[in-house]
Amino acid sequence: MAITFFCPSCNAKMNIDDKYAGMQTKCIQCQAAVAIPNKNTSPLEDACDDIPADEETLDTLAAHASVHNPAPATIEQTSNLSDVLAFRSFIAPTLIKILFWVWVVGGVVCWLISVVIAFKNGYKEVYSGYNLRGYNLGSTTEFDATAGIVTFSAGLVLLPIYILVVRLWCEMLIVIFRLYEETRDIHTLLGERNSENVL
C-alpha cells in the first residue's frame, strides 16, 4: 500500500510504498529532506517529524518516491461552460491576449500607412511660371523625402514604446483575473488535502 505525503518545503504531493514508513527521503522536486510518515498524514504532521538519515538512504528512497502534481484547476474549469456562465471562470484574460496582438498589428499597420502617405505627399508640382507673352511655361515635379524620413524614424522610436505600454496595460488587467483564479486554485487544493486527510 502506498503512503501519500507532502513535501514541507515545496508542497509537492508524493507517494511511496509503505515499507519505507518512518524513514526519510528527498523530495523529487526541490531535493529537500522529507520524513516519510507511518500513515497518510498532513503536511504539518510531516514537518514535525525529524528522523535523521544518511545521504545514500535519502537518494535511494527518493528514487522510489513519485511526485503527483495535479493539473491546475483553471484548466478544467475554463473549459466548463457552466463555470463560464456562472462567472467562476473568466474569458477576459484570453480576450485581453487577443486584443494585445490586434493593437500591436494595428499600431504597425498605422505606422506603415502614415509612412507611405508622408512619402506620397513628398511629391510636389512646381510651376515654372509664365513667359512674356503670357504662356504657361509648364511645371515640374519635385520630391521631398523629409516628411517620410521623419515619420519613419519617429515610428522606429515610438512603436516599441507603444507596444511596451500596451503590454503593461494588458498585463495589469490579466493580473486582476489571475489573482482570483490563483485564490480559487489554492482553495480547491486545500479542500482536496483536507478530504485526503479525513480519509
Residue range 14-67, pLDDT digits in tens: 888 777 788 888 887 777 888 888 765 444 444 444 444 556 665 665 555 554
Distance CA 41, CA 106 (A): 56
Residue 158 included in any domain: yes
Same domain, 49 and 112: no
Over the chain, what is the mean pLDDT?
75
Last residue of a domain, one of 69, 95, 119: 69
Give the number of other CB atoms < 10 A from CB of residue 184.
17
- Stated pTM of the model: 0.46
d(CA 53, CA 49): 12
Query: Which cell numbers hold the place of 129?
Result: 511660371
**In which domain, by residue range, is 131 found?**
85-198
Structural domain total, the chain: 2
Q: How far does CA 11 lie from the centroid of its chain?
A: 22
Which of 7-11, 16-20, 123-127, 182-186 has the weakest average pLDDT?
123-127
Same domain, 189 and 129: yes
**Exposure on the CB side of residue 65, measured as CA atoms within 13 A:** 32
- Phi, psi (deg, nearest 5) at residue 96: -65, -40
- Distance CA(90)–CA(182), nearest Å, equals 12
Determine what percent of the chain is predicted with pLDDT higher than 90: 23
